[in-house]
Amino acid sequence: MLKIYNTLTKQKEEFTPLNSPLVKMYICGPTVYDYFHIGNARSFIMSDIVRRYLEYKGYVVTFVMNLTDVDDKIIKKANEEGKSAKEVAEFYIREFFTDIEKLRIKPATYYPRATEFMNDMIEMIKRLEEKGIAYNVDGNVFYDVSKFMDYGKLSGKKTEELEAGARVEVNEQKKHPLDFALWKKAKEGEPYWESPWGKGRPGWHIECSAMSCKLLGESFDIHAGGHDLIFPHHENEIAQSEAANEKPFAKYWLHFGFLNINEEKMSKSLGNFFTAREILKKYSAEAIRLFFVQAHYRGPLNFSDELLQAAEKGVEKIQNLADKLNEELNKTSEGKKVNFNFEQWYKKFEEAMDDDFNSAQATAVLFDFTREVNRLIAESENPDKQFLTEAKSFLKKTADEVLGVVNFEKKEDLPSLENDLIELLIKIRTEAKQNKNYALSDKIRDELKNLGVILQDTKEGTSFKKVRK
């Protein structure tokens, strides 16, 4: 039985979809004005793993990740670079897709862009205005927080305390300090759309409400995002959506913890961040994913090269077993019968993931499994095909298809020219070692590793495997 910690109710709840086996899930995607940082990658990867595990459990998941392609930050970047906001957004959308593919994040069912749902946003704002919940001041439309009695139910914040808080920006047009923008009047030189309130563009919060309700329905199963989005973004989404539709919005709310550097939240505003693209140049996608899954998704996680290097070694242990299983299965002999209870390992993995996606415990199960299977292979010398096949199937279903921390692609699948060139470099390296030219030998090994080709020296010679870069 899968249990999920629901930020809305502040407790773990049994997961019961609104229309099982269908699951509708929405995650707040990037604002496309720059390459996303490794802290953003945590949310994207962990939501990917949640989605993968739901599919492993037999659910049919409609997964939506929005792209915010109209925003103050995009306009600022466009002005700095002398480009249009659309040009900036289009460039970073392309780069976003490049990076998430390298991180082995499964494509979403839909990637809605805010600019494509302008009519839906305007219609939702009009409904709120007709209900007396939104008000227009000179072309700026605001949401009246005092009209929504449940405001604060997600974050647990009280309106009186929030109004006294220094975080709330001062705007004399607002009736109340907490009221937020649904529609912003166009400023000179900014992109705009026609609306009943004049030329302007939507507020950030209304974008997600309109897109999620349009694609998933007015009530859906899971809404996910970073912990920093609980307030005000997700709180405001609830207020808008439930006031406009008079229905519960998302049933379960999942929030991913911060990624810290030196115990301080990683963010672009603080300038203490690395882009996912930069980290992918140093570490494999599998290592980055293992780094994330070895901590619980809700808790904070401290970033360091030492932890990523340890994750790379952890990936290597599981990957070596995956490669060994493939090699053993290619042997023609049947081998010796090995008795092994695979069912108990599936049970352990599922018990961990069923407990609020406890990927840290699930990963521990994978390492225990890897040690045990390696021991049995060594003891039996030539294990039977059924054992090998089932061991491979377990790793593929759990480590590969759910967590994405191992890669079952065979090196034979690489283009033959690439294979031949790698083998040539291995031959040159072997000759260099024989001639005691260790500097050249090490340089070839290190440069190949930087390209994602890992050399493995054994008594039989040197083999290689390619990891995703």
Residues that constitute the known binding site for ATP: 268
Q: Token pair for residue 308?
A: 């990523």
With a CB cutoff of 8 Å and minimum separation 6, the contacts of 384 are 334, 335, 336, 337, 338
Tokens 């021991």, residue located: 375
Separation of alpha carbons 253 and 208, rounded Å: 14
Burial class (CB in 10 A: 0-12, 13-18, 19+), 10: exposed
Q: Phi and psi for 290 in degrees, rounded to 5?
A: -65, -40
Q: Token pair for residue 367?
A: 């390492």
| End-to-end Cα, the chain, rounded Å | 36
Q: Classify residue 155 by its DSSP letter.
A: T
Secondary-structure percent of the chain, ordered helix, strand, coil, rounded to 5: 50, 15, 35
Separation of alpha carbons 142 and 129, rounded Å: 9
With a CB cutoff of 8 Å and minimum separation 6, the contacts of 107 are none
Q: What is the CA radius of gyration of the chain?
A: 26
Separation of alpha carbons 420 and 308, rounded Å: 31
The full DSSP string for 205-252 is HHHHHHHHHHHH-SSEEEEEEEGGGIIIIIHHHHHHHHHHHSS--EEE
- Residues at the annotated binding site for Zn(2+)? 28, 208, 233, 237
Q: Classify residue 400 by its DSSP letter.
A: I
SS3 letters for 33-45?
CCCCEHHHHHHHH
Candidates 297, 296, 280, 299; CA nearest to 288 is 280
Helices (H), 220-341: 235-245, 276-282, 285-293, 305-329
- Residues at the annotated binding site? 28, 208, 233, 237, 268
Cα of 417 vs its chain's centroid, Å: 34
CB 55 within 8 A of CB 65: no
Separation of alpha carbons 344 and 16, rounded Å: 25
